[in-house]
Amino acid sequence: MATTSDLSRNMLIMYNNAIHRVVEYEHISPGNWRAFVRMRLKNFKSGKVIEERVRAGSEIEIVNTQTRTSQYLYKDGDLYYFMDTESFDQIALPDDVVSEQMKFIRENDTVDLLLLDNGQVLDIEPPTFVVLKVTAADAAVRGDTATNIQKNVTLETGAVIKVPAFIKEGDKVRVDTRSGEYVDRG
């Protein structure tokens, strides 16, 4: 069994009978009192971030996972279909599990599936940066480019992001999928 000294960022642990990702942690030893660890944990099911304090040296249960490279095939109703690139098995995932990450993924794009040891899919990890085509852009007003004004554009996946005013319909842009922010022209 692991202890709090084995914690690291983005580690998956079982806490209060639910799987959590360690967002951040800090070991604190306040003078004469017992040392403790303050953890910020994100619940996988609800997405809620909680802050917890546990005694230093307490046992924690680390969740073993594996990643599997898969190709996004298509969406049918509320299900997203992926194909394992090694075994060619198809995996259907419901909208509530993957909808947030799918904002920047096109058909035939490659993603990593995060799986528990029993084969249950926890999450999908899209590539860090993707290049997407702008399908609709607000009109730029003359003079806005000098003041770094940003405007909304719609990407080919349907996601709406803010970009500099010089980006126009038909341009390709690089997007950071972790934050959903414009990086540069693609």
Q: What is the pTM of this model?
A: 0.72
Residues 51 and 72 in one domain: no
Number of domains in the chain: 3
CB 82 within 8 A of CB 98: no
Domain limits at 102?
Answer: 65-125
Residue range 159-169, pLDDT digits in tens: 899 988 888 88
Residues 138 and 108 in one domain: no
pLDDT of residue 81: 92
Neighbours of 57 (CB within 10 A): 12
Residues 34 and 84 in one domain: no
CATH of the domain at 138: 2.40.50.140
Distance of alpha carbon 138 from alpha carbon 146, whole angstroms: 17
CB 128 within 8 A of CB 177: yes
Q: Which of 44, 62, 80 is the last residue of a domain?
A: 62
E strands, 17-64, in order: 18-28, 36-43, 49-55, 59-62
Residues 8 and 41 in one domain: yes
Question: Can you give the C-alpha Rg of the chain in angstroms?
Answer: 21
- Of 3-7, 19-23, 37-41, minimum mean pLDDT range: 3-7
